[in-house]
């Protein structure tokens, strides 16, 4: 019979790699909470409407990537393609803003987008997501970036490259959009098919195009910085000034736009050279209109999402060796009586918090030693029927090969010895 395999683009995280995941999550929790962020856990399933309104109807994510279906009650629901919309939904639904308009939140979990899988891109992938709601101050933008880069470095990332831009706000972006449309007028024929389509759907996205022809045209195009209103210009200057306080290097990329419609003002990306085409490991920015657009009060927000798989792929191999605990003790038991004794002792050790392993397949000592070695146990307690009689067993140190006699008749003493 044929075995059933996982769904395309959905990956197993095997025991060998789960330690890395735990390590990164652990670091994130420590650092994010030091910066005052609290964890929030939101459902992975939401009403489709939430994403359509939040991310934007005309975005690729909403148009062709979401897992959307009707459930048995005929409700139209979607597996979340990102976390921000859900977090804001929860913030509004539970009136968190009433007690305190400022909320600093993070969440960790799976997201779903039905794209063609490739390196660094899966249909179920994971994000570390931070959202700071209630502050408009430019210092917060820089603080969020500081926290992010501090975290990335703490997990061993060598040189995260920060790219920044400002997308303006509803009062200045339209004039920029107009001038782009004017600029592109008459040049449609020289653009790629996708960009020709973008002119009517989302002209700003032409900036993102990687086709040589489009890039050349765009190089001549007006840049948003020249169109920012006074408020947006001051805000962006404030972000840069605050980044300077922490000596955070950045490059301003006036062509960087985002694939989600809700971004305003500051946007940023962290990129790397080591991931092939999927070089963005973090994307984020400010979304001052989103909470209002989702039916809430006019509260500003900023956040980012880290691609977990992409981050792991870039981490040094030995980064979390210390975090993954070595197994500790192996009990090699030979003979029926010894097995009985070891069975009890092994589980007693475990209940004391001493990670202990033994073998139940009645093999010889040699193969048990082999297994202890493979599990990287530091010590092996060797018990045969002979040792049961004398109540004295050998405790072997696997590194130094030193072997000492230990008494078996006092389990409290034994436990102390192991700890």
DSSP 2: P
Using CB under 7 A as the binding rule, whether residue 265 contacts RNA is answered as no
Minimum Å distance from CB 191 to RNA? Answer: 11
Exposure on the CB side of residue 335, measured as CA atoms within 13 A: 11
What is the closest distance, in whole angstroms, from the C-beta atom of residue 211 to RNA in the complex?
6
Q: State which of positions 48-67 bind RNA (CB under 7 A).
A: 59-61, 65
- Among residues 34, 24, 14, 22, the alpha carbon closest in space to that of 310 is found at 24
292 near RNA (CB under 7 A): no
- Residue number, 136 or 394, with CB nearest to RNA: 394
Among the listed ranges 30-38, 97-105, 172-180, 301-309, the one in contact with RNA (CB under 7 A) is 301-309
| CA neighbor of 270 nearest in space, from 157, 126, 168 | 157
Q: Under the criterion CB under 7 A, does residue 386 sit at the interface with RNA? A: yes
Q: Cβ 382 to RNA, closest distance in Å?
A: 4
CA angle 113, 9, 193 (to 5 degrees): 55
CB of 311 to RNA, least distance (A): 8
Does 125 engage in binding with RNA (CB under 7 A)?
Answer: yes
For RNA, the closer CB: 240 or 398: 398
- Contact status, residue 336 vs residue 388, Cβ threshold 8 Å: no
What is the Cα–Cα distance from 377 to 366, expressed in whole angstroms?
15
Binding mask 329-348 for RNA (x = CB under 7 A): -----x--------------
Cα 243–Cα 246–Cα 247 angle in degrees, nearest 5: 80
CA distances from 205 to 28, 59, 82, 227, 332 (A): 32, 10, 20, 17, 65
Subset of 180-199 contacting RNA (CB under 7 A): 194, 198
Give whichever of 53 and 113 is closer to RNA, judged by the CB atom. Answer: 113
The reply to whether 374 sits near RNA by the rule CB under 7 A is yes
If binding is defined by CB under 7 A, does position 367 make contact with RNA?
Answer: yes
Binding string, residues 145-184; x marks residues near RNA by CB under 7 A: ----------------------------------------
Joined together, the tokens standing for residue 297 give 């009060």
Interface with RNA by CB under 7 A: which range of 46-54, 148-156, 252-260, 411-419?
252-260
How far apart are CB 240 and RNA at their closest, in Å?
Answer: 21
Q: Which is nearer to RNA, 96 or 396 (CB)?
A: 396
Q: Does 137 bind RNA (CB under 7 A)?
A: no
- Provide the H-helix boundaries in 185-332: 193-201, 212-219, 230-245, 290-293, 308-314
- 115-153 per-residue burial string, b: 16 or more CB within 10 A, e: under 16: eeeeebbbbbbbbbbbbbbbbeebebbbbbbbbbbebbe
Rule CB under 7 A: is residue 366 a binding residue for RNA?
Answer: yes
Rule CB under 7 A: choose which of 89, 104, 113, 235 binds RNA.
Answer: 113
Which string of DSSP letters, residue by residue, matches 91-134?
A: HHHTTHHHH-S-EEEEEEEEEE-----BTTB-SEEEEEEEEEES
Asked if 127 interacts with RNA (CB under 7 A), we say yes
> Residue with structure tokens 């969020």?
144
Q: What phi, psi does 176 have (nearest 5°)?
A: -65, -45
* Residue 327 lies near RNA (rule: CB under 7 A): no
Q: Which of residues 267-286 bind RNA (CB under 7 A)?
A: 269, 276-283
Interface pick for RNA out of 45, 150, 394, 415 (rule CB under 7 A)? 394
Secondary structure letter of residue 3 according to DSSP: P
Contact indicator for 325, 376 with CB cutoff of 8 Å = no
Nearer CB in complex with RNA: 89/258: 258
Q: Is 231 in the site for RNA (CB under 7 A)?
A: no
Q: Nearer Cβ to RNA, position 169 or 306?
A: 306
Helix (H, G, I), strand (E, B) or coil at 279: coil
Residues at the contact surface with RNA, assessed by CB under 7 A: 2, 5, 8, 59-61, 65, 82, 113, 115-122, 125, 127, 194, 198, 205, 208-211, 258-260, 269, 276-283, 305-307, 309-310, 334, 363-367, 369-374, 380, 382-387, 394, 396, 398-399, 401, 403
């Amino acid at each position: 019979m044929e075995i059933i395999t996982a769904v395309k683009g959905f990956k197993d995280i095997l025991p060998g790699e789960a330690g890395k995941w735990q390590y990164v999550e652990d670091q994130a929790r420590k650092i994010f909470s030091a910066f005052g962020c609290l964890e929030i856990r939101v459902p992975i399933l939401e009403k489709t409407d939430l994403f359509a309104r939040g991310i934007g109807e005309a975005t690729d994510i909403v148009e062709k990537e979401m897992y959307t279906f009707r459930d048995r009650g005929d409700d139209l629901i979607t597996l979340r393609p990102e976390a921000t919309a859900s977090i804001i939904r929860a913030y509004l639904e539970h009136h968190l803003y009433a007690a305190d308009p400022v909320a600093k939140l993070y969440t960790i979990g799976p997201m779903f987008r039905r794209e063609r899988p490739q390196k660094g891109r899966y249909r179920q992938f994971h994000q570390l997501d931070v959202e700071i709601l209630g502050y408009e101050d430019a210092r917060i933008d820089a603080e969020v970036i500081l926290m992010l880069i501090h975290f990335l470095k703490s997990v061993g990332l060598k040189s995260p490259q920060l790219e920044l831009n400002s997308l303006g706000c509803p009062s200045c972006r339209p004039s920029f959009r107009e001038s782009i449309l004017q600029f592109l007028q008459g040049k449609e024929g020289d653009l790629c098919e996708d960009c020709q389509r973008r002119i009517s759907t989302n002209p700003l996205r032409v900036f993102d195009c990687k086709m040589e022809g489009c890039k050349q045209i765009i190089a001549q195009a007006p840049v948003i910085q020249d169109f920012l209103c006074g408020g947006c210009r001051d805000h962006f200057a404030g972000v840069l000034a605050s980044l300077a306080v922490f000596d955070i290097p950045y490059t301003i990329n006036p062509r960087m736009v985002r694939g989600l419609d809700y971004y305003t003002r500051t946007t940023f990306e962290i990129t790397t050279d080591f991931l092939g085409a999927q070089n963005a490991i973090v994307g984020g920015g400010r979304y001052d209109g989103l909470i209002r657009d989702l039916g809430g009060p006019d509260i500003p927000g900023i956040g980012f999402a880290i691609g977990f798989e992409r981050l792991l792929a870039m981490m040094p191999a030995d980064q979390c060796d210390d975090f993954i605990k070595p197994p500790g003790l192996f009990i090699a038991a030979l003979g029926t009586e010894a097995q009985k004794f070891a069975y009890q002792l092994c589980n007693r050790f475990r209940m004391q918090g001493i990670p202990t392993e033994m073998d139940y397949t009645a093999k010889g000592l040699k193969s048990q030693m082999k297994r202890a070695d493979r599990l990287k146990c530091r010590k092996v307690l060797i018990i045969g029927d002979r040792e049961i009689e004398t109540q004295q067993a050998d405790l072997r140190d696997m590194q130094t090969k030193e072997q000492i006699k230990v008494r078996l008749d006092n389990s409290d003493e034994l436990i102390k010895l192991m700890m």
